[in-house]
A and B are shown apart, each in its own frame.
Chain A
C-alpha cells in the first residue's frame, strides 16, 4: 500500500485536539434534586483542565475519525496484479474511430475500418467490444457486445463527417461513456492523429482510472505519411464588388503548383483565375467587378485540380447585400458635429445603417412610424407638438435614443421623460467627471471596456423609480438611463452627443456603443452567416423564434411540430443552410474547421509517450493487442481506498453522535 499525497498525514497532528478537549471540563457534572433552591445562588460556569481524561471511548472514536480523515486525504492505494484480474474478468475493447473531416483524406477511413476489423476478429474468448465515432462529439456506434459479426456490421456504417476531433475532448467524453462498466478496458483509438487534434493540455488526454483499473491505451495510426494539402480558408467581399479568396497551403513542397481558382455567385460561375503557390503560406486571389443580387448571396470559391483532401478545396460564404437600415436622426442642425459623429459610428457598424438627419423644423411627424427607432440629438429641442408625437411613437412600440445637449440644460424638466433638472447645478457647468458605474448586464453595454476613460459633464436631473440607470458617475449623477414607456422605450444620454460636454464621441468605445444601441433599439440580433461544421444554429437569431431549416442537400431538418418551437439546429454538412422564418429567408454558410485541413501529424514520439503514460506500452502501427497485453502485465493496478475510508468515516460520525448523546444526558438522582 502507498500514499498518493502523504503530506496530508500532517493532519494527524489534529489528534491532539480531542485529547486536549477531553481534558477540559465544565463544573457541572451532577444534577440532583434539592428541597428548595430559594437559598441558592447560581455560580458561573468555569472550564478547567484536569489530568484525568474523561469519556475515553468517545475520545478514541473522535481520534479515529480524524486519523481516517487524514488518511483519506492522503489517498492510500494498494497495488494489485492486473494479470490475475484480466484472466478472471472480461476485457472490454473500446474501439474509437476518428471520423473527423481529415479522415476524408485518401483512404484513411478504409484503413481505419480495416484496423478495427482486425481488433474485433482478434478478441479473446469472453471479451467484449464497443465502437464509438469521435469527431466534434463522440457517438456510440455499437454498445458493448461479444458478437464480432454484429460489431463488424455496425463498423461498416461508420462514415467521416465534417467535424473536428480534439483528443482531449474525446477522452473526456469517453470517460463519461464507459465509467459504469466493471470490465478491464483496452482503448483502441484508430485515426490519423493530426497535430491540430492534440489537446492543449497533455493531461486532458489521459483517461481516468475506471473502477480502480487503469485503461490500457492502444494507438492505431492509419497512415504515417504526411500529405500536402491546399484549402480555401477564407473569402472576403470588399466594397460590395470585390471578392478576395485566401488559399492556404500545408506541408507543400517548395516548388510551384498551379491552381485554377473559380468564383461562383448564386450558383453561376463568375470568374476563374490561375494561382501559383510555392511551399507553405497564404496566397490571395482577387475577383473584381462582381455583381451581387440584393439580400443574401451564395458566394463560393473552389480550386482545381483537387488534392487528396478534395472536400476543403471549396469555401462557402454568404454575402448580405441588403441596403443599410435607415435611421431617423432629429436635430436642430443637420450639419452639427454631433450628427457627424453619430453618422460615422452607425455607418461603420457591422449591420450598416444609413442615417437620415432631419431638421425638426422640416419634420413631417407621420414619417416617424416608418422607423423602428430614431435619434434625437438634443432632447431640449423637442417642442410641445413633437413631444406628444414622440410620446405616441414610443407608446406604440417605437424606441428613441436621445442626447441632452445645451438646450436641455436650460429647461426645468426633461421633455417626454419629465425628470426635474437641477437648474442651479446645470448653470454652474461643473467639471467633466469620469464614469464609475456601468450596468454591464444591459444588452447595449456588452462591450463596456473603454467606458472608464470617458469624461462626461452630465446635466443633473432627478431620477424616478421607473428609470434604470445604465451608466453613472455616482449614485446621484446618472449619465445613461433607460425607461420603458408603453410598448416602447427611450434611452437618454445626459450630455451632448458632440464632444462639447463629453469626450465619448472621440473615444473608441463610442462606435461599439452606438452600434449596440442601434442593435438593441431596433430589436435586431446579429446572426453569424458563416459558421464551422457541427456548430448550432439558433433560430431566434434569424429573426424568428420558429421556422424551417433546409440543409445543403435540400432536406428539411425540422418536423412540422418542431417548426413551431424555438430550436437549435446542428449544422454538420458543408454548404448552405436555408432558414425560413416569418421574418424572411436567411442563408448560413457552413465549412469544415480550417484546422482539419492541416494534415501535419502528431510526432510518433509524442504518440509513444501518450501510450506509455497511459498504459506503459510502446506504439505499434500494426495490431498491437498481444504486445499491449504482455507489457500491461508488468504493471500493477492502483486501487484507491477512499471509498472504504468514506464508509468508515460515515460509521464514525454515526457512532460519535450516538455515544456523544449518551454522555450528554446528565444523571438525575436524589440527594
Chain B
C-alpha cells in the first residue's frame, strides 16, 4: 500500500479540503484523479484504457462504445472492451439518517459518505461499470437504477448531492426494495454508520449475498464517536430520537470507548459471517483508505 503522506496530491483526499469544493462532481474527479496519480500504473487494478476484445452489444451498454466500423463491415453491433473493464454493476447505498449528520471535525459523516459515494461512482464510470444509487434512512428516499449510459454519472452524483440527514436508520425496508429491483449480480457498497442491531444488519444484508451480490460495508465513524474527549459532564441529545442523557467524562473516556469498539467488532463479525467486506472509515482521515479498500474488494470479487 502506498503511504498517503508521501504523495503530493494527498491533500486532495483530505475531507476538510474536499469540503471547500462545492461541486460534488469536481470532488469525485479530484479524489479519483489524485488517488490514481498516487497509484503505480498496474493492470492489476484495471485502470488502463488498452483494447482487449469486442463483445456483442447488449441492453444497458453505453452506445458510445459501439465500434461503428465493425458495424459497417459486419452489420452487427459490437462494443470495445478494455483492459481492467469488468462491465459489472455497482450499487451505492448511502445512509442519510439523522445520525449521519454528526460531525466533529467540520465534515459530517453524510458529507464524507457523499464524497465516497461520488468517488466510487466516478471510478466505476471510468471503468464503464453501470452505477446506481439508493439514498435511504428508515425508507428509500431516492433511487436510481444502475446504468452505464451517458450522463448517468452526473445523475448519480446529483442524487448523492441532494441527500440530507433525516429520520432514523432502518435497513429492512431499503434492502427489501433493493432486492425487488436488482436481479443482476453486481457490487453493492453500503455507506452507513450502522447504528442498528447486528441481527437487523445480518437479516437484511445476508439475502443480498445469497442473491449473489458482492457487498462491501463502508462503516463511517466520526473521530468524535471513536474517541470522544470531554472535560465535564455533558447533556447529549440523540440526533435521531431527541432523547437527552447526561454523561460524565469518566464514562465517555472509558466505558463508552469499550462499548463502541464492541459494536464495531460485532458489525465486522456479522459482515464476515455473510461474506461481506467491512471497512471501518474514520471520517477525519483521507478517503484513500476507502478507495483502496474498494479496489481491493473489486479486484478480489471481479
Contact = CB atoms under 8 A, between A and B. Distances in A.
Nearest to A42: B245
Interface stretch (B66-74, B82-90, B236-244): B236-244
B45 interface: no
Counting chain B CB atoms within 10 Å of each CB, the highest count among A34, A41, A42 belongs to A34
Contacts of B49: none
B235 A30 contact: yes
Nearest to B224: A671
A38 B260 CA distance: 10
A37 B238 contact: yes
Interface in B250-291: 250-252, 255-256, 259-260, 263
A668 B256 CA distance: 22
Main secondary structure of the interface of B (DSSP, over half): mixed
Contacts of A671: 102, 104, 224, 236
B293 to A, nearest CB: 22
A40 B245 contact: yes
A34 B237 CA distance: 6
A341 B48 CA distance: 135
Contacts of A27: 232-233, 246, 248
Nearest to B231: A30
A33 B235 contact: no
Interface string A26-48: 01111111111111111101000
Nearest to A45: B246
B225 A37 contact: no
A41 B255 contact: yes
A34 B252 CA distance: 12
A29 B225 CA distance: 20
A43 B224 contact: no
A34 B241 CA distance: 10
A58 B272 CA distance: 59
Given A40-B256, A41-B255, A671-B104, A31 B237 contact: yes
B99 A31 contact: no
A226 interface: no
Interface in A447-475: none
B259 A36 contact: no
A42 B252 CA distance: 11
B224 to A, nearest CB: 6
Nearest to A26: B233
B194 to A, nearest CB: 11
B99 A43 contact: no
A42 B224 CA distance: 19
Given A28-B246, A43-B247, A37 B232 contact: no
A574 B233 CA distance: 87
Contact of B195 (A28, A36, A40, A45): A36
B239 A40 contact: no
18 contacts: A28-B235, A32-B237, A33-B102, A34-B237, A34-B238, A35-B99, A35-B100, A35-B101, A36-B195, A37-B245, A38-B195, A39-B260, A40-B245, A41-B251, A41-B255, A43-B247, A671-B102, A671-B236
Interface of B: 99-104, 109, 193, 195, 222, 224-225, 232-241, 243-248, 250-252, 255-256, 259-260, 263
Interface of A: 27-43, 45, 666, 668, 670-671
Given A39-B260, A43-B233, A670-B102, 12 more contacts: A27-B246, A30-B235, A31-B237, A33-B237, A33-B239, A35-B100, A35-B101, A35-B102, A35-B195, A35-B222, A39-B256, A40-B256
